[in-house]
Amino acid sequence: MTIFHSRLSCHRSPVGAVEEGTPIHFRICLPRNLGCRAAYLCIQTDGNAGTDDSSMFWCGMEGQDHEWWECHYTPHTAGLYWYRLRVDTNTGNLPLGRGEYGEGVLGSDAMYQLTVYQKGFTTPSWLRG
């Protein structure tokens, strides 16, 4: 079972770059034996050291041994954003960061990139394709 993957719409929707003001749905699927008590989406804007943490909420089971946590995040201005997830478990606070191919890895601090473009932006016709 995949915990998180940035390129799968069941974990992040929409995938890819988004227009400013677009709500993004994030979902993680954690093994039940982690004993997760809380989960967070940690967003960092380009050039800032701190993160803005959004609480995720428990939203159901996947079979008997996995559970879903989710939240929505809406970037209100264009720019580069960086994010990772964090889970509070029986064994402590664990980061959930980016693996080599976009998969979520427990214990990784590596961040994902979120590109947010200006509302109404269109790609010039000479650049398309």
In this predicted structure, what is the pLDDT of residue 77? Answer: 94
In this predicted structure, what is the pLDDT of residue 84? Answer: 96
- In contact, 36 and 30? CB cutoff 8 Å: yes
Q: Render pLDDT for 6-64 as a digit per residue (tens, 0 to 9).
A: 999 999 999 999 999 999 999 999 999 999 999 999 999 987 877 889 999 999 999 99
Better pLDDT: 48 or 65? 65
In this predicted structure, what is the pLDDT of residue 117? Answer: 95
Q: Which amino acid does the sequence have at 79?
A: G
Rounded Cα–Cα distance for residues 85 and 68 (Å): 13
Question: Nearest Cα to 112, choosing from 29, 31, 34, 26?
Answer: 26
